[in-house]
Amino acid sequence: MAEDSGSEVTIFLESAAAALPAEISGELCAVDGRAISAEERVTIRGHGRLRYILHVSPGEATGTIHRRLRCELVAPGASAEIFVLLHGKKKQRLSLDLHLHHGAGGTHSASTVRAVADGGSHLKIISEISSAPKIGPCSAAVDSRNLLLAPTARLATAPVLSIHGNGIACTHGATIGGPRPDELFYLRSRGICEEAAKELLCAAFSSEILSKIPTRLPGQII
């Protein structure tokens, strides 16, 4: 079911019944392209490493998708790298609730979130970093950038930090905005129409996450 590439195991979650493992103690890369609502909880044990790439793009489908992921890093050496791309169109409602909890010193997490809201879509992103009291040094970072492509689209983000004790160094950055006028102008001045220019910029914006997806091999799909 999964392919071992070096010491890292890679899995592709594609069916609605698939799920992330509840516990991780080795190195796992999980690529999740399911456009469904799901709520998952993962415990990462000592020296366990999770690389999770989530891409939610419901295409032309309408409706609401709510994704919730809680990662608990419970022993020294545990780490998580989370990459998320949400792409909403039409009247779609997409939400992400991402929570990384540092339960022990010597743990590290880094989350990169990109969201694109087009048409009349509404996207909501909650990203939380929390830490248990009195733990040793550890680090956490969230980088959330969100692109508004249409005047009727809407994006909301709530980057929460909840830190107990002085063991954790934690940073968070979030932006919401449309395509930069100078970038649009550059493309348009080269004969590209506005719609195509926006698509190009959107593709470039998304590539930061999509480029993390490893090559799929037979037997990796769950």
Partner 1 sequence: MAPQDLDFSSAAGDFSYGTDYAYDAGSGLTEDTVRYISGHKEEPRWLLEFRLEALELFRRLEMPDWAPMKKSDLDYENIRCYLARGDGTGNRWEDVPAEVKETFDRLGVPEQEKKFLAGVEAQFDSEMAYANLKDDLQRQGVIFVSSSEGLLRYESLFRPYFGTVVAAAENPFSALNGAVFSGGSFIYVPPGVKIDRPLQAYFRINAERSGQFERTLIVVGENARVTYLEGCTAPKFETATLHAAVVEVVVLAGAEVQYITVQNWSANVYNLVTKRALAHQNATVRWIDCNVGSRLTMKYPSVILAGEGASGSVLSISVAKDGQLQDTGARMVHRASKTHSRVVAKSLSIGGGSAIYRGTISMAGGFERCRSHSRCDGLLLREDSISRTFPHMDCGGTGNVIEHEASVSKISDEQLFYLRQRGIGESQALGLLVNGFFDELIREFPMEYGVELKRLIEMEMEKVTTAGEVSRG
d(CA 38, CA 34): 9
> Do 60 and 35 form a contact (C-beta atoms < 8 A)?
no
Among residues 10, 107, 112, 157, the one that binds partner 1 under rule CB under 8 A: 157
> Do 131 and 106 form a contact (C-beta atoms < 8 A)?
no
Specify which residues 181 forms β-bridges with. Answer: none
Binding pattern for the stretch 57-76 against partner 1, x by CB under 8 A and - elsewhere: --------------------
For residue 135, give the amino acid letter: I
Among residues 152, 185, 217, 219, the one that binds partner 1 under rule CB under 8 A: 152
Among residues 44, 100, 155, 187, the one that binds partner 1 under rule CB under 8 A: 155
CB of 47 to partner 1, least distance (A): 20
Among residues 134, 186, 204, 217, the one that binds partner 1 under rule CB under 8 A: 134
| Site membership for partner 1, residue 158 (CB under 8 A) | yes
Closer to partner 1 by CB, 31 or 153: give it.
153
Specify which residues 101 forms β-bridges with. Answer: 72, 130
Among residues 61, 169, 193, 204, the one that binds partner 1 under rule CB under 8 A: 169
Among residues 115, 116, 148, 197, the one that binds partner 1 under rule CB under 8 A: 148
Place of tokens 């909403």: 88
Phi first, then psi: give them for residue 106, nearest 5 degrees.
75, 20
Closest CA to 30 of 173, 218, 213: 213
d(CA 200, CA 192): 10
Site for partner 1 in 86-115 (CB under 8 A): 105
The window from 42-50, 73-81, 133-141, 201-209 that contacts partner 1 (CB under 8 A) reads 133-141
d(CA 103, CA 194): 48
Count of positions on this chain that bind partner 1 (CB under 8 A): 36
Site for partner 1 in 13-52 (CB under 8 A): none
Residue 197: strand, helix, or coil: helix
CA 220 to chain centre: 20
| Site membership for partner 1, residue 184 (CB under 8 A) | no
Give residues in contact with partner 1 (CB under 8 A).
105, 133-134, 136-137, 146, 148, 151-178, 181
